[in-house]
Homo-oligomer: A and B are copies of this chain.
Amino acid sequence: MARPTIGHLDPLFVQLMDEIKTLTQYVFQTENRLTLPISAPGSAGMEAAFVNLVQPGDKVIVCQNGVFGGRMKENVERCGGNAVMVEDPWGRAVDPQKVEDALKANPDAKIVAFVHAETSTGALSDAKNICAIARKYNCLTIVDAVTSLAGSELLVDEWGIDAIYSGTQKCLSCTPGLSPVSFSDRAVEVIANRNTKVQSWFLDMNLVMGYWGGGVKRAYHHTAPINALYALHEALVMVKEERLENAWARHTYHHKALAAGIEAMGLQFVVPSSERLPQLNAVTVPEGVDEAAVRKLLLDQYSLEIGAGLGALAGKVWRIGLMGFACNQKNVLFCLGALDSVLTAMKAPIQSGKAVNAAMAVYAQG
Contact = CB atoms under 8 A, between A and B. Distances in A.
A61 to B, nearest CB: 19
Contact of A8 (B74, B176, B222, B223): B176
A8 to B, nearest CB: 7
Interface string A1-42: 110011110110000000000000000000000000001111
Contact of A41 (B71, B74, B223): B223
Interface in A167-216: 167, 169, 175-177, 197-202
Given A39-B40, A40-B39, A199-B199, A228 B177 contact: yes
A201 B5 contact: no
Contacts of A222: 41-44
A226 interface: yes
A310 B220 CA distance: 9
Interface string A314-351: 00000000000000000000000000000000000000
Majority secondary structure, A binding face: loop
Contact of A74 (B1, B79, B201, B226): B201
A79 to B, nearest CB: 8
A305 interface: yes
Contact of A225 (B41, B197, B221, B310): B41
Contacts of A128: none
Contacts of A46: 201-202
A221 B39 CA distance: 17
Given A2-B1, A176-B8, A201-B75, A42 B299 contact: no
Given A5-B176, A41-B225, 12 more contacts: A1-B1, A1-B175, A2-B2, A5-B169, A6-B305, A40-B40, A47-B200, A77-B197, A78-B198, A169-B223, A200-B200, A228-B228
